[in-house]
Amino acid sequence: MSQLFFGYFAGMIAITSILVVALRNPVYSALSLLVMFFHVAGLFITLHAEFLAAVQIIVYAGAILVLYLFVVMILNVTQDDRYHSQWRIAGVVCIPLFIESILLLSGGAGALNTGSSSLQSEPHEAITANNTLAIGKTLFSTYLFPFEVASLVLLVAMIGAIVIAKRDIGERDA
Amino acid sequence: MTIPISYYLILSAIVFFTGVMGVLIRRNIIAILLSVELMLNATNINFVAFSHHLQDLGGQVFVFFALTVAAAEVAVGLAIIIALHRSRSTINVEEFNLLKW
């Protein structure tokens, strides 16, 4: 049963991520990215990360993608003309890397599955039934300083976005 | 019946290399930012899969931070796109050659 769910989610994620790159209209690209975000959230649920699934839908599908669609509508770009002339370089970079990773994974898969007990660290914060509670406790004890730094990152990004995108006051007259 | 971790790694590799292809071959700067989102999501899938595999919550916390950085990156990136479109009235990356050697 879990293999069925994984197959469905993985297939949809792969197909929609290829569609994001392949479709020419940026609105369609953004919408297929939306479908991909929902399926990634479903994959998170099968991995018992319910809090992250909710956050994925709220932040990615709710905030980030709306921002993208907003900018696409503002700039009024309907059609992207052609692909970049760099596609040969892209193929040379990506295809050997992809084959290499597949080979590495297929070679190391058996070792990874049988040797998982050696990889298994002692579960000091084991994933319990109450996922959100456990994440909150970890976030506010072990990762308290990175949490504060993340808030600083958000503040800097907000101020930077406003400063970059705003029109200068005297620009209309000049 | 549990899924082997290598399946998640292969899925994440497919999504990540699709994102790399998108960054390299698309000319629309919004599509390039969407491809960066694809790459960030591939790393998130890896983080959560290993968090489940090792029974450690650190991976999920790092996905949380990656989400924060992704939101900040989108805000600044789209602001830059709007500023560029205002000065050049195009979003084709081949037109932006001011900083090219």
**pLDDT digit string, tens, across residues A10-66:** 999 999 999 999 888 888 999 999 999 999 999 999 998 889 999 999 999 889 999
Distance from CA of B95 to the nearest CA of A (A): 12
In a domain, B101, yes or no: no
Q: Are residues A154 and B68, on separate chains, in Cβ contact within 8 Å?
A: yes
**3-class DSSP assignment, residue B41:** helix
In a domain, B44, yes or no: yes
DSSP string, chain A: -HHHHHHHHHHHHHHHHHHHHH-SSHHHHHHHHHHHHHHHHHHHHHTT-HHHHHHIIIIIIIIIHHHHHHHHHHHT--------TTHHHHHHHHHHHHHHHHHHHHHHHHHHHHTHHHH----TT---S-HHHHHHHHHHHTTHHHHHHHHHHHHHHHHHHHHHHSPPTTTTT-
Q: Which residues lie across from B92 on neighbouring strands?
A: B28
User: How far is the C-alpha of B26 from the C-alpha of B33, rounded, in Å?
Assistant: 10
- What pLDDT, in 10s, does the model give residues B66-87? 999 999 999 999 998 888 888 8
Does A118 have pLDDT greater than 50? no
Question: How many domains would you assign to chain B?
Answer: 1
In a domain, B41, yes or no: yes
Mean pLDDT of B13-30: 88
In a domain, B48, yes or no: yes
Distance from CA of B63 to the nearest CA of A (A): 8
Residue of B nearest to A145 (CA): B65
Backbone angles phi, psi at A129, to 5 degrees: -70, -35
User: What CATH code is carried by the domain that includes residue B27?
Assistant: 1.10.287.3510
- What pLDDT, in 10s, does the model give residues A42-51? 999 999 888 9
In a domain, B100, yes or no: no
In a domain, B37, yes or no: yes
Residue closest to A138 by CA, chosen among A42, A41, A51, A55: A51
Residues of A in contact with B88 (CB under 8 A): none
Q: Indicate whether this complex's ipTM tops 0.85.
A: yes
Two structure tokens written together for B28: 């629309």
Nearest to A20 among B35, B57, B69 (CB): B35
Report the pLDDT value the prediction gives residue A106, as an integer from 0 to 100. 75
Q: Which residue range forms the structural domain that includes residue B15? A: 5-95
